[in-house]
Amino acid sequence: DTGVSQNPRHKITKRGQNVTFRCDPISEHNRLYWYRQTLGQGPEFLTYFQNEAQLEKSRLLSDRFSAERPKGSFSTLEIQRTEQGDSAMYLCASSFRGRDTDTQYFGPGTRLTVL
């Protein structure tokens, strides 16, 4: 399968703990995006990378959140000192930055539950 993969698929943690999620994009894609989706809402943008450079961060991405894409391939999203409000589906997408238009392809997501 050559789609976007995310690990773990589910994570349950206690409030105050740190968690890290991983995203592996489609291999030839140079852009990688993180979104968060809560119940009854559409996905909300968090941040995105072109290769290893983080180009934009949403104001939703508080200082407890950090994302990296160290070698321009996989990416990690870390949440420190988790809060119950962080419970959500975290989605990763990738695209190839072309000349005209891009299509973002999404992974299956990581469901985070903070107790």
Where along the sequence are the contacts to another protein (CB under 8 A)? Answer: 4, 6, 31, 33, 35, 40-45, 48, 56, 58, 91, 93, 95, 97, 100-109, 111
Structure tokens at 76: 């990690």
Smallest distance from another protein to CB 7, Å: 13
Q: 89: which strand partners? A: 37, 111
Q: How many CA atoms lie within 13 A of 11 on its CB side?
A: 25
Which lies closer to another protein via its Cβ, residue 72 or residue 108? 108
Report the SS3 class of residue 84.
helix
Which lies closer to another protein via its Cβ, residue 4 or residue 112? 4
Looking at the chain, how many residues does it have? 115
Indicate left, alpha or beta for 16 from its phi (over 0: left) and psi (-120 to 50: alpha): left
Smallest distance from another protein to CB 16, Å: 27
